[in-house]
Amino acid sequence: MKILLTGFEKFGKYSVNPTELLANDLNNVKLINTEVVGRVIKLNYMEIREQIRELIDEHNPDVLLMSGQAGRSVISLEKVAINWVDSGNTPYNCGSIVNAQELNSGGDKAFFSSLPLHPLKEYLHKKGIPAEISYSAGSYGCNQIFYEAMSYLNHLGSKIPAGFVHVPLLPVQSLNGKSPTMDYSLIKKGFDEIIQFLSNHH
């Protein structure tokens, strides 16, 4: 089986993005019956939809696992993607600031993750990985790719397990100590375990 893993490039004030590291480090990882394809997504508002569609078409994955960073203390398994974008004062890397509008005018209001979130959370806890199920993927690039991917898979009639996972910031991203962080080694271990779980439960 093939797992397509996506992460985002660094953006804004950050000099690194842990999910870019994950996508690069896990690319070409092979388990007994599983191959991981890791790809980094450009955080450009007008390009995210096409990027994820092209990757799905090119790799025809058996599982789609998307990831992004957030100022949270645990790995967050996202339940729902909404048809909404509001980047506030944070521009995309292309310079766009997009506020209070639908991602797809007249499209489905929301899509739910098709990953087995509750068993996955319990599995991560057994492995000593801090994890939660989250009901808000935000309204920026992370929610955008989550929504666009689930919308496209729905259009294709695809039933593959697919979903989005937020990871905490790295310590170097919170030098003032005001944002929760997690060491990259623990984040990486978490994704190693997620991939193992998905490989075993497909």
- Give the catalytic positions in this structure: 78, 142, 166
Look at phi and psi of residue 12 and say left if phi exceeds 0, alpha if psi is from -120 to 50, else beta: left
From the list 81, 103, 78, 79, the residue with the least C-alpha distance to 92 is 103
Report CA-CA distances (Å) from 163 to 16, 101, 157: 23, 22, 16
From the list 170, 184, 181, 76, the residue with the least C-alpha distance to 131 is 76
Tokens representing 145 are 């790719």
DSSP character at residue 170: P
Classify residue 175 by burial, with Cβ atoms within 10 Å: 0-12, 13-18, 19+. exposed
Question: In whole angstroms, what is the distance from residue 75 CA to residue 167 CA?
Answer: 5
